[in-house]
Amino acid sequence: MPRPRAIAHLDLDCFYVQVEQRRLNLGQPPWTARDSPPAAVQQWDGLIAVNYAARAHGVKRGMRAAEASHLCPGIVLVHVETISEGAEEMMGNAADRAAPDRRTQKACLRRYRQASDEVLAVVQRSAARCEMASIDEAYIDLTDEATQLLGGSTDLSSIAATSACPSGTSLDLAADSHLLAAAHLVQQLRDEIFKETGFTVSAGIAETKLVAKLGSACHKPNRQTIVPNSGVLSFMASVQIKDLRGLGGKLGQKLLGALRLEPEAPSAELQKALTGGLSGWFHFRSFNVFLVNSHSGMLRHVAACCSRRLVRTSDPPGRLPLSIAYVEAETATKSELER
């Protein structure tokens, strides 16, 4: 029988805003504190990241900048960096600048990728197997490290006090010892990330990637959650289908449409509807525990560039030089980081 895994999902809290608050000296870390200056990052006219101080005023991701300013007059809105042809000017340093023109400029997220690489460097020093899921998320497999830690004189009860559990679940010190040991390592890692970068990280610890990811969202910001194996079924019963890995996009919409299920329905309804090979496919996509695949930050950067269509046939003639300038700027930045 294979030994149980210990998987952690790391999620940087409102990451883009943390990056901008550090860069512009907006308050002191932790920037996810409720008394931090309210701030948000916008791209064109919409907000793409909102800190917790601004959320307390009703500001939400996806909201228009004008509406956010109306709800929270003191909010600091920072536009993402933009690049124009020739990479002569990078914008987005202050809220009082004129809004960039999306017809002549292109959004550039390299500032956040550079900060992401800072965090990745800390994680890679501490975990043998690390998989970047996005610019602000990572999975780490701590099975070996947790097993080694359990070989010593580790006080599991004190470790349990540093982590939360989902509502309705509880830890068993014996059955969940590998998860507790992993939680101890994750707490150390989160402390190290904060010490070196000032960024706070939420985390979920479980036996699978799916459950770890869902767990990391339970007690945000800046906390970690252990989902005990005995509580997985009850925990998953409260999860909506739209939150399941692999079902948030167009594929999920088609699948749910065919099964006549609503995205807000509990995941148990999906389990009832799936049969045969489709059920096996979903299990592989969402529950498989053996897919923490180590790869370099370079692959993540390449994927990020290749996943976006830089120019369309319908774009005006000046768009192609702008896209070339964007790729040049991204490549130059990555080369500097790897020296």
CB atoms under 10 Å from CB of 324, counted, come to 15
Out of 137, 145, 196, 269, the active site residue is 137
CA distance 38 to 1: 51
The neighbouring-strand residues paired with 40 are: 50, 77
Tell me which residue has tokens 């509406």: 67
Close Cβ partners of 54 (under 8 Å, ≥ 6 residues apart): 38, 39, 40, 68, 72, 75
Residue 196 DSSP symbol: H
Round to the nearest angstrom and report the end-to-end CA distance of the chain.
45
Q: Is 20 a catalytic residue?
A: no
Classified as helix, coil or strand, 177 is helix
* DSSP, residue by residue, 270-305: HHHH--HHHHHHHHHHHH-SS------HHHHHHHHH
Residues that are catalytic = 137
